[in-house]
A = this chain, B = another copy of it.
Amino acid sequence: MSEFPVSDRTRLRRRPARGAHDEASVFAILDAGVIAHVGYTQGGEPRVTPTAYWREGRALYWHGAAASRALRAQSECPLLCVTVTHVDGFVLGRSGFAHSLLYRSVMAFGRAQRIEQRADKRRAMDAFLERLYPGRTREIRPVHDSELDMIAVLSMPIDEASAKIRSGGVNEKDEDLAGPGWAGVIPLQPTLGETLRDERIAAHVATPASIAEFRAGARLDDVLGSRGRRA
């Protein structure tokens, strides 16, 4: 099992049993997400930008407008902290202290670089689409060079990463377990709604195969999880 190196940045001091540094744990959480929070500094001040991202091997990718100040600052920052979090539920205990959230999160550190060559940008952006909607790049026209020139794509090899997972049920002190109160867990899941067709497409155009798994009521974890297992 391949592990990320542990440093002062990623060592889990509090409740280390909830933490992990192995690739499988880190990748599973990254691959279940859509938005990362990219932390960088600008003039010494922290900035946290929500950004759609994807992963290939030990690297994270994201993109933005070529003229974006945020992306420029990110590519110039000697170290980024990229955090992905899933809230999986609410925990209610017999005492206020035992109330908690279920979650999975990854904190990944590295230095980002801009992908300069058009061919590499094209390949990266295709991978982004294919990750979410398998086969989508074959359903649509190729990206124009002029479109590629309008965006910047960053890649960040993950130098260090830690995963934190709070799962399970209510953790309560023995003295409270005897109490009369209610306790339990309420799961939370990002769930897909009914697909809304653009009004401007012709009635005969069928829903494409690339979103076959995006059924109303499907859980995003299941949809994206199947992608990860395929890759």
Chain A positions near chain B (C-beta within 8 angstroms): 9, 13-14, 34-35, 37-41, 44-50, 52, 65, 67-69, 77, 79-83, 85, 87, 89-90, 92-97, 99, 101, 103, 105, 107, 125-126, 129, 132-133, 136-137, 139-144, 147, 169-170, 172, 176-177, 179-202, 205-208, 211, 214, 220
* B137 adjacent to A96 (CB under 8 Å): yes
Nearest chain B CB to A44 CB, angstrom units:
7
Q: With the chains together, A191 CA to B195 CA distance in Å?
A: 17
Q: Which one, B13, B47, B129, B179, contacts A96 given CB within 8 A? A: B129
Q: List 29 A-B contacts (CB under 8 A).
A: A9-B45, A34-B87, A35-B87, A37-B50, A39-B46, A39-B47, A41-B41, A41-B46, A45-B79, A46-B46, A46-B47, A47-B81, A48-B81, A94-B140, A95-B140, A96-B125, A96-B126, A96-B143, A97-B143, A97-B147, A139-B181, A141-B181, A169-B199, A182-B207, A185-B196, A186-B196, A188-B192, A189-B190, A190-B191
Q: With the chains together, A34 CA to B103 CA distance in Å?
A: 11
Chain B residue with minimal CB distance to A208? B182
Chain B residue with minimal CB distance to A96? B143
Nearest chain B CB to A197 CB, angstrom units:
5
Q: Can you list the 6 inter-chain pairs with the closest CB atoms, starting with the nearest?
A: A187-B193, A39-B48, A39-B46, A37-B37, A183-B198, A191-B191
* B187 adjacent to A205 (CB under 8 Å): no
* A46 adjacent to B35 (CB under 8 Å): no
How many copies are assembled?
2
* B79 adjacent to A136 (CB under 8 Å): no
Beyond the given A99-B129, A188-B193, could you list 10 further A-B residue pairs with CB under 8 A, ordered by the A residue number? A14-B68, A35-B85, A46-B47, A87-B190, A92-B136, A96-B136, A97-B144, A182-B201, A186-B211, A189-B193
The answer to whether residues A197 and B214 also contact, given A34-B101, A82-B48, A96-B125 and a CB cut-off of 8 A, is no
List of B residues within 8 angstroms of A211 by Cβ: 92, 186
Name the residue among A45, A89, A94 with the largest chain B CB count within 10 angstroms: A45
Chain B residue with minimal CB distance to A13? B69
